[in-house]
Amino acid sequence: MSPFVLLSTADTELLAARASDAGWRTANPARLSADEVGPLLAGASGVVVRLLGGRRTWPEGLDAVLASGLPAVVLGGEAVPDAELQALSTVPAGVVAESLAYLREGGVANLRELSRFLSDTLLLTGEGFAPPETMPSWGVLGPRKSDDAVPTVGIVFYRAHALSGNTAFVESLADAVEAAGANALPVFCSSLRAMEPELLAALGACDAIVATVLAAGGTRAADASAGGDDEAWDVGALAGLDVPVVQGLCLTSSRAQWAASSAALSPMDAAMQVAIPEFDGRLISVAFSFKEFDGDVPVYVADPERAARVAGIAVRHARLSHVPVAERRLAVVLSSYPTKHARVGNAVGLDTPASAVRLLSALRSSGWGVSEFPSDGDTLIHSLIAAGGHDVEWLTEEQLAAAPARVPLSVYSSWFSALPEDLQASVEEHWGPPPGSLYVDGDDIVLASLQFGNVVLMIQPPRGFGENPIAIYHDPDLPPSHHYLAAYRWLSAPSSAGGFGADAVVHLGKHGTLEWLPGKGLGLSASDGPDAALGDLPLVYPFIVNDPGEGTQAKRRAHATVVDHLVPPMARADSYGDMAKLEQLLDEYATVQALDPTKVPVVRAQIWELVEAAQLHHDLHVSETPSDDEFDDFVLHIDGYLCEVKDVLIRDGLHILGDAPSAEALDNLVVSVLRASQVWGGRQGALPGIRAALATAYGLDEKALLADPGALVSEPAGLFAQVEGRVRSDIRASAVVDRIDALALELVQTARSSDPAAAVESVVGRPVPELVAVLEFARDELLPRLARTTDELDNVVRALDGRFVPPGPSGSPTRGLVNVLPTGRNFYSVDPKAIPSRNAWDVGVALADSLLARHQADTGEWPQSVGLTVWGTSAMRTQGDDIAEVLALLGCRPTWDDASRRVTGFEVVPLGELGRPRVDVTVRISGFFRDAFPHVVALLDDAVRAVAALSDEAAEDNFVRAHVVEDLADHGDERRATSRIFGSKPGAYGAGLLPLIDARNWRSDADLAEVYAVWGGFAYGRGLDGVEARGDMEQAYRRIAVAAKNQDTREHDIMDSDDYFQYHGGMVAMVRSLTGTSPAAYVGDSAVPDSVRTRSLQEETHRVFRARVVNPKWVSAMQRHGYKGAFELAATVDYLFGYDATAGVVDDWMYEKLAESYVFDETNRAFMEKSNPWALRGISERLLEAAERGLWAEPDAATLQRLRETYLELEGDLEE
């Protein structure tokens, strides 16, 4: 009898068919081209095709099968029938249905009987067959030993593996679990989405679970992201087990492919085995199983060392619930970079010292053995610094000698020698033989820490660039130092082996350096920095909810359990100082115009005098007093700008872990969140913003008011009814915005103590259904979720108890994403294959249009080339705004699958429809973006090459093609000529400019550009994979006319993080170094997605400087937070300096104002001298450096002298 052919996308079915000895000829369509179908089917009697994902997954191949004329059974890959595929079958429907029944049950015996069944029914051989045998839906692979005295780790794997005999990889993992000191319970099942009670009962005996099956919560992850449907992803049964669930990665590639790749995982594996399981709340471990071919069918083969790592992670999580609480040991790690006493406890938006005190208190209340500790954050940090710290400028030999936490050379050498030889060699090459020279007392490695009973508080070891500054210029993948490795090994190792014996570690706040150490992006090896340092130690990581990207990095490269925390308190910037005086003067001007025109010249002179005093003429691009004919327009311009500045949302303090906002802070945060149009239940604009609804209620349009806040509008009836002194019938739009904002706050305050409808009646004076709906939403959803901010501390403790932390979406609440609350959850990000989303496409198009319009307004021309910085965290937070903008500038648009909402590709927009030239785009991606979105990199690369291939378009219509043609004429290499995506060296992260500027190890643009190129001169795209391409990057950068960076949330700003000046400022410096001229530098603002704007970097810098940096409201808010507040002031000065060094955005008056507000102001100086004198000294030193480098071009001599005196005085005080 001629054989039957089985073409299945499930390799386990192919293995079962081969083991059945029924003569099956097998192949996987995923590895079979259409041209190979004919030879495979030659001489066969019939063919069974089983495709997971439908016809679109193998259209040409399926056509070839159907064209062969053989009897064909065509089936879907799921247990339920796929009507579309089955309709393509060429055999009777009954045969198709019965064939599916055999395959649905699976296993060797059923594959044998399927062959016999087909032989009898199609070939009429009469040999007989048995009906499909019902196989168990779940079961235990065993038996294995069990000991009630140790934890139990369940291993969940696919039923198909058990039925096909492909279980060696599971057994290897189970052996590793037992070797790590726990019971192993290997359990097979078809899915975790609908578990039988018996299966749940079996898993209920486990203290932790390793899952190798796909996500349990649903099938369409895109519906469950920020703004989606809370019910779209249900992990209730899995969560009900209340144990950590560790994802064990079983790759579809071979071990050799994994070992050779810095990416490590294919885009499919990255999505299905990492990103989507995160929606279940799983903890991501490492790759331990690989597909190796045994003949023409791959089998799963475990790597023993990696299996031991997965087992170790799971067992240590399982052990948490078995160690008595009073005996558990914990490390709390505070990051510190730069390595200065002024900057201990780096964490975005979080008062780290106060949060550490709260955490210690919560642990003690939960029964942990925590001895006496300082009761306030300042004392805690001061004590930690007094014990030594890492700041070599102040660290003394006496402190090193007195430090109790130390690792003797003999102990460290035993740990170090156990590391892979290639890592040992790299560490010794850069840091010398153990113990190295960093923080060494004799032969002991000294660690900066304090111990409170069973809890040690430690400063994270320095990354090393500050200690080895020459490496900044040539080693972006600098390995961790001996000191770094020793610190983490000491935390993890038991006391019997010379360590502290921590059962877990908490990294307090965004973010440390561990997860950014060099190595594979996912699926780490033993030679990769994070794996080598952290080992198996459970990591719990409180992390700000609006930064999914960097938190996801910790989840994927350090098996972190994220416990997200709330954004800082938010409030309107409002007016202050000279700007408030100027507003009053503008009101007076309007009054005298109407009532006493003779006084107009006097008031005009006063206005101009105040404008100059406040340095606002720089912001307004006016150098001399406007003429009488121009002055009224100038007044409108001033008023509009003042409105724009004071309407900015700024942080009104820092968050403290577990503290639910209350009183005024709660009201302001609620108004800040309700400002945005709400994205709720998957619906964009499900509810209007509260201010938009108020404006509509008075016959106004909020967008129009904000677009031209200086314009005069007719006063709406009733809007100012309760405001005394109103005498005019027309009013500036800015005053209307102020009034609407005040009413919004009043509504929120009133509604907290009354019914929403009654609140609207009380404040507005009449029913307004839209406002009632917004306030009901606040009452029913927003306020209860904010009240649950206390979950943050509860769930940190829960994780340390070895329990399950529920998952939730991540994003910016003030973008109208209330379902990212409550915080305290193990956040997930996005389905990477659904990027960009349809909503993001709309925003990306608006960003592209706004950028082009701004450039045309500035120059009268289209920019031929745009440089855009793209980060993974922004892509996750916005679901792809930046990616959409790149496609829009190129003149392409994504295509989507409506069922899954995933992106399927792109199409080129015809020039006639586009209505403008195609703009060339060069993209600098972050290392995390490279790791998280490899398929998006390929999509963008394909789009560039497709546009470059449009040979029928003229050069003036297609700048991409014009540039490619130029480069082809130069070197003839199409792949090089179309390279437009550049990023970090494979295995490395960052842009390099932060350590360079902190080390003060630079002189000119050439140095900045050198580091930017060394760290980012690697090309990505199809066939590139991070190849060194500095020359091609420089060629692309020479053409950049606009260097752009988008800002998608007001929960932070461009002077709130070093990444902005490193990437965006670095791009400007690179272009300037190559061409001698800075490109136009733009900031796209999509914080309000339906009101996108583009500003120059200079404008944005001025706006942020006035709205936050020198705003007394923000400064006083920082003063409430002691040491960490002063830290924030010093960090802001550093980031301003970094942006000025790279992009030239800080004017002399701004440096003067910083000195006045931060250093010379008596109240602020007293605050900083008490809470963080190192920060005050650092600010003085940085301002002096700005003058020395000529960035502060013409400083006042008296100001410089006062700064020098302050610096020297503080230096003397700190040395005492």
Which range is least confidently modeled, 24-33, 229-238, 813-822, 857-866? 229-238
The pair phi, psi for residue 248, each rounded to 5°, is -95, 125
In this structure, the number of other CB atoms found within 10 A of the CB of residue 767 comes to 11
- b/e per residue, 365-401, with b = 16+ CB within 10 A? ebebbbeebbeebbebbbebbebbbbbeeebeeebbe
Percent of all residues in the chain with a pLDDT value above 70, rounded to a whole number: 99
Run of H or E residues at 841 = helix 838-859
Residue 605 included in any domain: yes
State the average pLDDT over residues 983-1006.
94
State the average pLDDT over residues 545-565.
97
pLDDT surpasses 80 at 673 = yes
User: Distance (Å, rounded) from C-alpha 733 to C-alpha 1038?
Assistant: 43
The pair phi, psi for residue 705, each rounded to 5°, is -60, -45
For the record, the structure tokens of 631 come out as 């002055």
User: Distance (Å, rounded) from C-alpha 670 to C-alpha 571?
Assistant: 9
Asked whether residue 25 falls in the same domain as residue 164, the answer is: no
pLDDT surpasses 90 at 1015 = yes
Residue with tokens 């900015």: 648
Nearest partner of 1066 among 1131, 990, 1124, 1000, judged by Cα: 990
Asked whether residue 389 falls in the same domain as residue 493, the answer is: yes
Terminal alpha carbon distance of the chain: 96
State the average pLDDT over residues 1013-1027.
96
Residue 806 included in any domain: no
Three-state secondary-structure class, residue 367: coil
pLDDT surpasses 50 at 967 = yes
Domain boundary among 541, 569, 597: 569
Asked whether residue 900 falls in the same domain as residue 971, the answer is: yes
Asked whether residue 314 falls in the same domain as residue 333, the answer is: no
Asked whether residue 670 falls in the same domain as residue 713, the answer is: yes
User: Distance (Å, rounded) from C-alpha 652 to C-alpha 1116?
Assistant: 9
Instruction: Give pLDDT tens digits for 743-758.
Output: 999 999 999 989 999 9
Residue with tokens 């963008």: 940
Residue 1156 included in any domain: yes
Asked whether residue 636 falls in the same domain as residue 556, the answer is: no
Nearest partner of 18 among 295, 300, 302, 301, judged by Cα: 295
For the record, the structure tokens of 524 come out as 């780490």
pLDDT surpasses 60 at 481 = yes
Q: How does DSSP classify residue 893?
A: E
What is the reported pLDDT for 723?
Answer: 62
Three-state secondary-structure class, residue 142: coil
Residue 311 included in any domain: yes
Quote the mean pLDDT of the chain. 95
Instruction: Give pLDDT tens digits for 876-910.
Output: 999 999 999 999 999 999 999 988 889 999 999 99
pLDDT level of residue 727 (50, 70, 90 thresholds): very low
Q: Which domain holds residue 1120?
A: 1110-1216
Asked whether residue 223 falls in the same domain as residue 336, the answer is: no
Three-state secondary-structure class, residue 806: coil
pLDDT surpasses 80 at 1031 = yes
User: Distance (Å, rounded) from C-alpha 13 to C-alpha 162?
Assistant: 11
What is the reported pLDDT for 729?
Answer: 57
What is the reported pLDDT for 731?
Answer: 85
What is the reported pLDDT for 724?
Answer: 54
Asked whether residue 44 falls in the same domain as residue 117, the answer is: yes
Domain boundary among 271, 305, 320: 320
Q: How does DSSP classify residue 351?
A: -
Residue 1211 included in any domain: yes
Asked whether residue 162 falls in the same domain as residue 308, the answer is: yes
In this structure, the number of other CB atoms found within 10 A of the CB of residue 724 comes to 5
Name the CA dihedral angle for 1168, 1169, 1170, 1173, rounded to a multiple of 10 degrees: 80
Asked whether residue 954 falls in the same domain as residue 1083, the answer is: yes
What is the reported pLDDT for 1?
Answer: 57
Nearest partner of 691 among 744, 648, 739, judged by Cα: 744
User: Distance (Å, rounded) from C-alpha 1050 to C-alpha 1041?
Assistant: 27
Instruction: Give pLDDT tens digits for 258-278.
Output: 999 998 899 989 999 999 999
State the average pLDDT over residues 905-930.
97
What is the reported pLDDT for 229?
Answer: 83
pLDDT level of residue 995 (50, 70, 90 thresholds): very high
In this structure, the number of other CB atoms found within 10 A of the CB of residue 1156 comes to 14
Instruction: Give pLDDT tens digits for 1039-1079.
Output: 999 999 999 999 999 999 999 999 999 999 999 999 999 99
Residue 798 included in any domain: no
What is the reported pLDDT for 957?
Answer: 98
Residue 364 included in any domain: yes
User: Distance (Å, rounded) from C-alpha 642 to C-alpha 742?
Assistant: 17
pLDDT surpasses 50 at 1168 = yes
State the average pLDDT over residues 544-554.
96
Residue 574's alpha-carbon distances to 583, 680, 1035, in angstroms, are 11, 29, 45
Name the CA dihedral angle for 517, 468, 1060, 1193, rounded to a multiple of 10 degrees: 180
- Residue 570: exposure state from Cβ atoms within 10 A (0-12, 13-18, ≥19): buried
In this structure, the number of other CB atoms found within 10 A of the CB of residue 799 comes to 27
Nearest partner of 315 among 487, 503, 172, judged by Cα: 503
Asked whether residue 163 falls in the same domain as residue 295, the answer is: yes
Q: How does DSSP classify residue 479?
A: P
Contact yes or no for 579/614 (Cβ under 8 A): yes
User: Distance (Å, rounded) from C-alpha 1020 to C-alpha 924?
Assistant: 10
Run of H or E residues at 154 = strand 152-158
- Residue 1215: exposure state from Cβ atoms within 10 A (0-12, 13-18, ≥19): exposed
Asked whether residue 1074 falls in the same domain as residue 1116, the answer is: no
The CATH number linked to 237 is: 3.40.50
Number of domains present in the structure of the chain: 7
What is the reported pLDDT for 140?
Answer: 96
What is the reported pLDDT for 452?
Answer: 98
Three-state secondary-structure class, residue 561: strand
Residue 708 included in any domain: yes
pLDDT level of residue 148 (50, 70, 90 thresholds): very high
Q: pTM for the whole thing?
A: 0.95
